[in-house]
Amino acid sequence: MVFINTLDIQYTNGMEKAMHGAHGVGYETYKQKHEMRMKIEKSREEEYLKSQRLISDLERKIHT
C-alpha cells in the first residue's frame, strides 16, 4: 500500500530562500518528502530548545 502525503503550503520567495539557506531544500521537496519534513522539523525543534536554554541562562545571569 502506498500513501501519498503532501502538504498544501503557500510560501513566498523570501520563505523559499530562507528554507534553502537553513535546510538546503525548497518547499516543493519539503512538501513532497515526509522523511525530509521530519528531519527538518527535528532540526527546528532542536534549535528552538537550544535557544530556550540560552535565554534561560541569560535571564538567570541577569537576575543574579
pLDDT band, residue 47 (cuts 50/70/90): very high
CA atoms within 13 A on the CB side of 61: 6
Percentage of the chain exceeding pLDDT 90: 73
Q: Please give the pLDDT value at position 5.
A: 63
Rounded distance, CA 25 to CA 17, Å? 9
User: What's the pLDDT band for 1 if we cut at 50, 70, 90?
Assistant: low
Contact yes or no for 25/40 (Cβ under 8 A): yes
Per-residue model confidence as pLDDT tens digits over 14-38: 999 999 999 999 998 998 899 999 9
Q: Where are the domains of the chain?
A: 27-59
The answer to whether the beta carbons of residues 9 and 31 sit under 8 Å apart is yes
